[in-house]
Amino acid sequence: MTGMPHGTSPSRASVREAYDLATDAYARKFLDELDHKPLDRELLAEVASLVGPERPVLDLGCGPGHTTAYLNSLGLAVTGVDLSPNMIAKASECFPQTQFVVGDFFALPSESSSIAGIVALYCIVHLTPDDLRPAFVEMFRVLSGGGVLLLSFHVGSEVVRAENFLDTSAVLEFRFFEPAEVKAALIAVGFDRIDVRIREPYATEYPSQRCYVFAHKPPNDP
């Protein structure tokens, strides 16, 4: 990807096209992944506890909607957001009782200070380091004071290029990040109370450490 993150830039278009192409294969592989990820379920429950019932939450990069539906089952008023129209169509088909919209997390379809929580599991994996702050600025904008962000990513500094993603001919690059780099970008845009947690990969996953970060918008920030 290039350092041109916004809207209709070629990098965003290429990511959208790749996931449109890989939608069915992605859903087959990942729809039940939370069944095998106890820590992820615990952290999503922690988000629900921090946010409170029926409060608005966004699930960014929601893919086929399984995490969004899980958050919905925890009592949150959650909307899944994904860049790929095909992914949103698949999510709506798989989970018709849950709300999904096509959207870009550099220009979220939400009013400022209107969202109590954001879940962004691996949604930064196609960004460059220079893209982090603009993405976090937009997340910060839509969160209300005291709102919580749960972010996850692969730990490291490498870029893994998939020439034939899930055997679909889609091409994607996955970028790993060091936790200190992500934490610094979050602090730079205004987040505080940052809690960094790292786990080893499960047996069924790509063999990389995973980082989960809780970050909060200060309560007195409008």
Mean pLDDT of 134-152: 97
**Is 5 within a domain?**
no
Angle at 196 between CA 111 and CA 211, to 5 degrees: 90
Q: Rounded CA gap, 186 and 192, in Å?
A: 8
Which pTM does this prediction carry?
0.92
**Is 171 within a domain?**
yes
Mean pLDDT of 82-88: 97
Q: What pLDDT is recorded for position 204?
A: 83
**Is 3 within a domain?**
no
**Is 134 within a domain?**
yes
Domain around 165? 10-216
Question: In terms of C-beta density within 10 A (0-12 exposed, 13-18 middle, 19 or more buried), how is residue 101 classed?
Answer: middle
Q: Which pLDDT band, with edges at 50, 70 and 90, does 11 fall under?
A: confident
Q: Which pLDDT band, with edges at 50, 70 and 90, does 201 fall under?
A: very high
**Is 2 within a domain?**
no
Q: Is the pLDDT of residue 10 over 60?
A: no
Q: Is the pLDDT of residue 127 over 60?
A: yes
**Is 222 within a domain?**
no
Mean pLDDT of 180-195: 97
Report the share of the chain in percent with pLDDT over 90: 86
- Domain with residue 106: its CATH number is 3.40.50.150
**Is 93 within a domain?**
yes
Q: What pLDDT is recorded for position 12?
A: 85
Instruction: Identify the CA nearest to 205 among candidates 88, 84, 96, 122.
Output: 122
Farthest CA pair distance, the chain: 48
**Is 146 within a domain?**
yes
**What is the count of structural domains for the chain?**
1
